[in-house]
Amino acid sequence: MNHFEYREQTMHCEGVPLPLIAAAVGTPFYAYSAATLTRHFQAIDQAFNDIPHVTCFAAKSCSNIAILNLFGHLGGGADIVSGGELFRALSAGIDPKKIVYSGVGKSPEELRYALKSGILMFNVESLQELATLQQVAAALDLVAPVALRINPDVDPKTHAYISTGLAKNKFGLPLEQAAAIYAEAQAMSHIEVMGVSCHIGSQLTTVAPFVESINKVIAFVKRLATDGITIKYLDMGGGLGICYDQEEPPLPAEYAAALKKALAGVPGCTLIIEPGRVIVGNAGILVTKVLYTKSGAKQFIIVDAGMNDLARPSLYGAYHGIQAVVQSDRGEVVADLVGPICETGDFLAKERALPVSETGDLLAVMSAGAYGFSMSSNYNSRPRVPEVLVRGDEFFVIRKRETFADLIHGESIPE
């Protein structure tokens, strides 16, 4: 269930009709429901209430500070992958002691910033990164809390671009190497071994790959214990999928039950999870306006949002439901929904039964809350669109539409 529903033929986000927001901020825009964000966060978080855990929201999926702040108020932390995301999380008031830092390519500057900020844990992905962190920490006379990210070589059965847990993927350390690297880490003067981390991919629609990877990780944690290395935090990453179309992903309770069953083998460990999509995906939509329609060999509906605003269809061939904001009795037409970008790959839906549309109609691109705005760009010099947070009968612009002046901010012409 979500909070995007029709009342008298007009789609509302919670209590606010979408045309009202469009009139106030123009189109396109992203709209998020605070009630859905809250409910989804709590559904995941509370599924683990009976065990020690930290829910570190994957900031990359939706990084607006108003949304990070909302999760912070609900007790959430953040999973970050850059200095920029750390800045956002701290600006949003997230407790640094609930921030974990993942990613294969953290620069020395980023490591320094995170270390000074006092984050909970660095999920280190290579021996060279570990050595760099040791150096940075020594220079600051600080101790870096560390987990090594394990690559369990498990197939998450998702899109190849968002699969991370296979041996051929760039992420994590092979299990065979990890024990030796833990021993090195343990011996480093400014490194404190705290945990093990793992993230096998995104948009998973069964629990089996999660179970396979947690079992591998737990067997590894037990092995470390026999080497005298104690693990306090087990970070199992994110990845739980959502329904975009026909998918039937596991419910939070089922996912939690599977993880908790395995975790019973390592009492005393605190679980960290890094959910992104499952919390925000169906809590946000992109609203766009029909500019033109044309027909020839094919039907095209041309709207004012493009691949720069929502990259997922172009990048992954991803499916997003398309709905008329105001329902009509004009029926449907099989068409491509395309944007203004000068690329044939610029589409939001292909050969889809879409509402017969006219210039000026509003369309809602559903399930766009995750990796929607956060992956948007200025390609074709298009200002990024506003983000709006709806709470009951009120709405708040949590990011203004960019201006043309924003587009050239920081640019200069040499004499």
Q: Please give the positions annotated as active site.
A: 342
Minimum distance of ligand LLP from residue 371's CB (angstroms)? 3
Number of residues that bind ligand LLP (CB under 6 A): 22
Position 38, amino acid: T
Residue 312 interacting with ligand LLP (CB under 6 A):
yes
When the beta carbons of 25 and 198 are compared against ligand LLP, the nearer one is 198
Minimum distance of ligand LLP from residue 224's CB (angstroms)? 21
Strand 173-174 and strand 191-197: the pairing is unpaired
When the beta carbons of 146 and 335 are compared against ligand LLP, the nearer one is 146
CB atoms within 10 A of CB 145: 21
Residue 32 interacting with ligand LLP (CB under 6 A):
no
Which one of residues 203, 288, 308, 367 is an interface residue with ligand LLP (CB under 6 A)?
A: 203
**Separation in Å, CA 92 to CA 65, 227, 250:** 5, 40, 30
Residue 88 interacting with ligand LLP (CB under 6 A):
no
**Separation in Å, CA 209 to CA 157, 176, 204, 206, 306:** 8, 20, 8, 7, 34
When the beta carbons of 149 and 391 are compared against ligand LLP, the nearer one is 149
Minimum distance of ligand LLP from residue 413's CB (angstroms)? 35
Q: Which of residues 213-242 bind ligand LLP (CB under 6 A)?
A: 237-240
Minimum distance of ligand LLP from residue 382's CB (angstroms)? 19
Q: Quick check: 94 and 75 in contact, CB under 8 A?
A: no
C-alpha to C-alpha distance for 173 and 179, rounded to whole angstroms: 10
Minimum distance of ligand LLP from residue 251's CB (angstroms)? 15
C-alpha to C-alpha distance for 373 and 392, rounded to whole angstroms: 22
Find all residues with CB under 8 Å of 414, minimum gap 6, and list them: none
Residue 72 interacting with ligand LLP (CB under 6 A):
no
When the beta carbons of 252 and 275 are compared against ligand LLP, the nearer one is 275
Minimum distance of ligand LLP from residue 237's CB (angstroms)? 4
Residue 139, classed as helix, strand or coil, is helix
Residue 314 interacting with ligand LLP (CB under 6 A):
no
Residue 282 interacting with ligand LLP (CB under 6 A):
no
Identify any residues that bridge with 263 across adjacent strands, giving them in sequence order. Answer: none
Closest CA to 100 of 133, 66, 129, 123: 123
Position 408, amino acid: I
Minimum distance of ligand LLP from residue 170's CB (angstroms)? 11
Residue 61 interacting with ligand LLP (CB under 6 A):
yes
Q: Which of residues 354-413 bind ligand LLP (CB under 6 A)?
A: 370-371, 375
C-alpha to C-alpha distance for 216 and 53, rounded to whole angstroms: 20
Specify the DSSP element, H or E, that contains 302.
Answer: strand 299-303
Residue 55 interacting with ligand LLP (CB under 6 A):
no
CB atoms within 10 A of CB 351: 12
Tokens 């990048």 -> residue: 315
Which one of residues 64, 202, 282, 367 is an interface residue with ligand LLP (CB under 6 A)?
A: 202
Q: Which of residues 158-177 bind ligand LLP (CB under 6 A)?
A: 162
Closest CA to 361 of 288, 280, 298, 295: 288
What is the pattern of x (binds ligand LLP, CB under 6 A) and - over residues 315-334?
Answer: -x------------------
Residue 199 interacting with ligand LLP (CB under 6 A):
yes
- CB-neighbour burial class of residue 173 (10 A; exposed 0-12, middle 13-18, buried 19+): buried
Minimum distance of ligand LLP from residue 59's CB (angstroms)? 9
Binding region for ligand LLP (CB under 6 A) out of 2-10, 140-148, 216-224, 269-277: 269-277
- Does residue 8 come out as left (phi exceeding 0), alpha (psi in the -120 to 50 range) or beta? left
Which one of residues 274, 304, 309, 346 is an interface residue with ligand LLP (CB under 6 A)?
A: 274
Residue 317 has what DSSP assignment?
-
Which one of residues 76, 249, 275, 306 is an interface residue with ligand LLP (CB under 6 A)?
A: 275
Contacting positions for ligand LLP (CB under 6 A): 58, 61, 79, 102, 162, 199, 202-203, 237-240, 274-278, 312, 316, 370-371, 375
